Amino acid sequence: MAELRLERLSKVFGGQTVVRELTLTLPQGAFTALLGPSGCGKTTTLRILAGLEQLSAGRLLLGERLLADTRTHVPPEQRDMAMVFQSYALWPHMTVAENVGYPLKLRKVQGAARQKQVMAALEVVELGAYAARSPQELSGGQRQRVALARCLVSEPQIVLLDEPLANLDRHLRATMEQTFREFHRRTGATFVYVTHDQAEAMALASHIAVMHQGELKQWGAPQALYQHPHNAWVARFIGKGSVLSLATPAGVRQLDSALLHEGFGVGERQQVLIRPEHVQVADNGLRAEVEGCVYQGERYMLDLRLHDGQTLSAFHHSPLPLQQTVSVRLTQGWRLEAA
């Protein structure tokens, strides 16, 4: 196996650039999420990796092997990749085992050898007992696992997943997330996972590429993106949080409570991210009015308006009446880069 390198990839449709000079190196064996809102270019990027779209500019390499540039295009079946679609893409006239074994059929693997590999792949996704059934007899989650087994059976270096949980209900999505984690652990393959759901990406991926309007906005581990976003757009898209305008000392990115509270004074203002878990309702501090209070099970989410008109979100253990005035302490913040 080898790392997957995207070097200044661009894709233009009808004069519109949907992916713009995207440069990324996806580590071997990593679980990478391409994350962004609808229309940001993440699915187009995945289709370029799969060989389903040709590049307009740039290069795509697997290790030292050139897969695509403006003159070269290795076809999908020669890239040693497998793709799981949102729609499952199972053939209704084939049994589960026949669907899973189809890639092996194309490779001329026959008889007992094919059957053994098919059953091994089905056992990984806990569907060995369903081998003779048709896809119509399965639930949505079971069909998705059949699609995963079809990926596994060909032992690809890279598995591409295009919003595979979008058609499932919330409970089943949580179950399938665990299936994906286990599937990744067992295979050791490089996963590239497209989603618009930041909670899903944070739960599954070891690396996240945040995309917006065809461009890469930030790349890194989920914890780094959450704690240290580069700009206000990433800060608002990844996790909950508020962006305040505060006076902060030059050169300081991580702000403690004292610096945050001093930031409401006079000075040049910068954008500062405050996560809800870093806001405490206290006996003294900044004055704020409660404008919203939403029950979230284990806690409440408060919408607060500070004395200078800026808004702030906070977690709290109990409900607070609307329009009540409270005191809050800011315990930690992160200064964002200038636009």
pLDDT tier, 339 (very low <50, low <70, confident <90, very high otherwise): low
pLDDT of residue 1: 63
Q: Model-level pTM greater than 0.95?
A: no
pLDDT of residue 7: 97
The mean-pLDDT minimum among 95-104, 176-185, 263-272 falls in 176-185
What does the pLDDT look like over 96-151, one tens digit per residue? 999 999 989 888 888 999 999 999 889 878 899 999 999 999 988 888 889 888 88
Quick one: what percent of the chain has pLDDT higher than 70? 99
pLDDT tier, 35 (very low <50, low <70, confident <90, very high otherwise): very high
Name the residue among 283, 329, 284 with its Cα closest to residue 304.
329
Helix/strand/coil (H/E/C) assignment for every residue in the chain: CCCEEEEEEEEEECCEEEEEEEEEEECCCCEEEEECCCCCCHHHHHHHHHCCCCCCEEEEEECCEEEECCCCECCHHHCCEEEECCCCCCCCCCCHHHHHHHHHHHCCCCHHHHHHHHHHHHHHCCCHHHCCCCHHHCCHHHHHHHHHHHHHHCCCCEEEEECCCCCCCHHHHHHHHHHHHHHHHHHCCEEEEEECCHHHHHHHCCEEEEEECCEEEEEECHHHHHHCCCCHHHHHHCCCCEEEEEECCCCCCEEEHHHHHHCCCCCCEEEEEECHHHEEEECCCEEEEEEEEEECCCCEEEEEEECCCCEEEEEECCCCCCCCEEEEEECEEEECCCC
In the chain, the domains with their CATH numbers are 1-80+157-164+182-239 (3.40.50.300), 240-335 (2.40.50.140)
Residues with Cβ within 8 Å of 91's Cβ and at least 6 positions away in sequence, in order, are 98, 99, 102, 135
